Every structure is written in structure tokens, then in C-alpha cells.
Amino acid sequence: MKYTEEHEWLLAESDDLITVGITNHAAEQLGDVVFVELPEVGTEVSKDDEIVVIESVKAASDILAPLDGEIVEVNEALADNPGKVNEDPQGEAWFFKIKPSDLSPMDDYMDEAGYKDFIG
Amino acid sequence: MSADTTSSDLKKTPLFDLHQELGGKMVPFAGYAMPVQYPMGIMGEHSHTRTRTGLFDVSHMGQVILTGDSYEAVARAFETLVPMDVLGLKEGRQRYGLFTNDAGGIEDDLMFANRGDHLFVVVNAACKDADIARMKAALEPAVTVTPVTDRALVALQGPGAEAALAALTPAARDMSFMDVATLDLDGVEIWVSRSGYTGEDGYEISIPEAHAETVVRKLLAQDGVAPIGLGARDSLRLEGGMCLYGHDIDATTGPIAASLGWAIQKVRRPNGDRAGGFPGAAAVFAEIEAGASQRRVGLKPEGRAPMREGVLLFKEAEGGEPIGRVTSGGFGPTVGGPVAMGYVSADLSQVGTTLFGELRGKRQPITVHALPFVAANFKR
């Protein structure tokens, strides 16, 4: 598992498939999530594009694409049950799967120990 | 992600230590360190208040006593600042009011009560210094304006509020909505009104600072009473259709545009016995006669996406100029979906009118909805 400074986690299922979600820490900071807007499957995204909108009872925030690539699957269950993001952010409540066209940013992302230091 | 926000220049209420002990997440609000939520979380706290009982610290609000030769003298003077019937308010009763400015805009909203020999006023935290200055400038020396700085203020709200307070001071049970009374709670003099900012039955309770924590601990020990933060206070009042000053009403919005005309009693309206005589009366009367060009309405976004303050509203799904804007919006836990309020052109303010809100560059349907979103549960 790799982590971004935007509090996303990335799990490499293979070199062709990376699953992306938000961390427990991020979910806790957001508070109760009430709305999730996901990208469409097949969308070509560039790193740092705003591709997911999350609204909590407190505020709206974005998730950025962590890599260049194509969205190949999204977690439709979150649209009907956004509260899942609070229940299991690092498991069932993944957001999307991306087929990366450039894996090099993965090297810059933090490992678990690095992320723990990052959030203090 | 979050900095330490309890910096030393923030004021603390008499309940600050208790908030920390209860796990309150403290944030700056109107110059005070206030709990935005407790470990239960905003959604849970909201639902708890609707189904059980919530206890809110609102000590940051301004409590002010106005005294003079008699209640009548004070009331007549206060009527020069507000378009309400103050003189006709019976002893032991409270009323909602508005300070207006010379243009007929709203400088603050407030509660005022006839407490026999004086008028007791509660104003918003962010406006209290200006309100006190306004009252002193306009009313002294005939009326003495005394800010109450040694009392906490808490709200006890929800279907269990009566049982909780009556267990400690039985006379609370005999009060009706908008009654005020001085009660004794284990030897402590509390000033109680049966009112609130949630749409639920409940009380607002002024407690001497030195006894505030003790009294609040006794309330929290009652069955079903939990501490509730500012986050749920906001979603509760939004579902309840109540205005947040500085957002839904401000110095540029008049009472009629704000759909608060009901708060101006007949006696202060055109042809009333004490018509006018408050700041901006001519402008307010013009709006009463001709109607306002914009109206504050409830708004229900379609789908699940909240439309928050600042979202622009359009008549059509494409093109055209904005015909209004959202002034408060978020998720309504009791409604189970997004709720909002805002201003729209008067000709588009009918309940059921479908408009479009622009969200992240896309227009989504949003329908004019009756207020409140959740039926009030007051003890009339």
C-alpha cells in the first residue's frame, strides 16, 4: 500500500490495476460523508485532475487522480451508501480502479511508516 | 490537516473545561473557542437531539438587561430600534425580534422577553458588541443597558427536554413555548425560556457562571441528555427553517425579503397604533406595500449532492442570469438528504417551483420547498 499527501491510499493489484481510496485519517477528519460523486468508467485522467467529489456534513472536498491513466472501475455502492466511507475507508469503501499509463509517481508516494509520520 | 485551534486569544465560556473533558473538538467561532462536535459526531448529535435530548453551550451569545422607570418605559424606548410590539408583550413572555438599519436591512436578530421590571435581550455572539453599542447610543440615559457577563447560557433541546429539566426543577413543566421564568435549581437561580434553535421543544437556560458547570453536569446526568456541538446546531436550525445571521439575513436584506414579515406585529405596521418609528421604517413599509423583489425560501436539491452557501440559482437548465443564490445549505440528517435555503426572485418563490443550482459547473435541479423541512415540535 502506498499513500499520497492528499490522504489517498493506492493498492497495486498488478502493474495494470491500482485501487484508490482515502485513508482512515482522512475519513475521520472529513466527518460523516453524505455524498460521493465518482468519475465515469473509461475516463482518461491526468495526475492531479479532480476526479471524485466527497461531501461530508462539514464540507466538500476533492480527490485527485494520483496517476495518469484510465478509470476502469468505480465503486458504485458508495453513491447509494456514502456512509461506507466512514465505516471502512481502507477496505470496502475504495473509490476507483485505474489502469495507469505511467507508474513512476508510485515511487514518490509514501509507505505506511512514512504516512504515519506525515500525519503525525 | 488540522492545526491546534484553541489559541490563547480566543475567549472561553464557563463550560470550556467541561467541553474538553467530554471530548469536544474546539474551533474558533465569533471569537470564542466552541465545540463543533463531540465524539458522537455531527450526524449522531443531530439525530440524538431530534429523538432524545441535546445540550448546547450558547454562552458566547450576548445577554443584556434593559432597565428604566418601568417595563413600559423600556418597551417604548426599545420599539425605536425594532419593528416589533414590545409594549404589548405580556410579562413572562418572549418574542423574536430584529434590529433594523436606516435602509431597512437587518443588523441582527434577537430574542427579547418581558421579565416584569425589565427587558431581557439575547443577541448573536458575532453582533453583540455592535448591538450593545447601538442600544447604549440610542437608549441611554433614560434606559440603562447592562450586558450580563457573569452568566452562562445553555440550550436543552429535544423531546426529552421537559422531563430532563423538570426532574431538577418541576416548574419547567408548566411553561409553554416562548414563556420565560426565573426558576430555582438546587438553590441556583436560573432564567429559563421555553424556546430554542432546533425546531424541537426545549429550553434556553441562563445560569450564574460560578454554577454553570455544576448545573450542566446535573442536566447531562439525566436520561438521554448528550452534549451537542455547533455542527449539529447548524443542521438542526437549517431543517427547522431558521435564519443564521450573516448568512440568511444581513444588513442588506430587509424583513420582508427575508420572509420574516410575521415577526412584525400589526400594531407596528402601516396604519397600526404605533406604526413605524424604528430605523428604516419607510423602506420596510415600502416592501410591505409593494413586496420585495427577492424572497428567502426553502430549497430542496434533487439527488444527494448538497448545495452550500454561495451556489447560484438559475431559472433554466442552461443560459440566463442567476435569479438567486443559496445562503445556507448542507445535509439534513432527519430529512435524509440535502436541504438549503436562499433568496430567489419573488416571481419564482412559489413552493414547488423547480430551479437549477450550479454545482461544479453543472446545473442540477433544486425545488422551492416549504419551511421548515422538519415539522416543529413546540409545546404551544
Q: pLDDT per residue over B301-334, tens digit each?
A: 999 999 999 999 999 999 999 999 999 999 999 9
Is the CB of residue B328 less than 8 Å away from at least one CB of chain A? no
- Across the interface, whether the CB atoms of A57 and B1 are under 8 A apart is answered no
- Across the interface, whether the CB atoms of A25 and B1 are under 8 A apart is answered yes
Report how far residue B247's alpha carbon sits from residue B240's, in angstroms, rounded to the nearest whole number: 15
Report how far residue B146's alpha carbon sits from residue B135's, in angstroms, rounded to the nearest whole number: 10
Report how far residue B309's alpha carbon sits from residue A36's, in angstroms, rounded to the nearest whole number: 19
Is the CB of residue B331 less than 8 Å away from at least one CB of chain A? yes
- Across the interface, whether the CB atoms of A82 and B308 are under 8 A apart is answered no
pLDDT at A111 exceeding the cut of 90: yes
- Across the interface, whether the CB atoms of A60 and B308 are under 8 A apart is answered yes
Question: Which spans in chain A are helix H?
Answer: 24-30, 77-80, 84-87, 112-119
What is the DSSP pairing of strand B53-57 with strand B119-123?
unpaired
Please state the CATH superfamily assignment of the domain spanning residues B293-380 in this structure. Answer: Aminomethyltransferase beta-barrel domains (2.40.30.110)
Q: What's the mean pLDDT in B217-221?
A: 98
Report how far residue B314's alpha carbon sits from residue B304's, in angstroms, rounded to the nearest whole number: 19
Percent of chain B whose pLDDT exceeds 90: 97
- pLDDT digits over B81-110, tens only? 999 999 999 999 999 999 999 999 999 999
pLDDT-derived band at B9, boundaries 50, 70, 90: confident
> Domain residues of chain B, as ranges?
16-56+150-239, 293-380
pLDDT at A59 exceeding the cut of 90: no
Report how far residue B343's alpha carbon sits from residue B327's, in angstroms, rounded to the nearest whole number: 7
Chain A hits for B37, CB-CB cut-off 8 Å, are 31
What pLDDT score does B3 carry? Answer: 41
CATH of domain B16-56+150-239: 3.30.1360.120
| ipTM rounded to 2 decimals | 0.83
Domains of chain A: 2-103 (2.40.50.100)
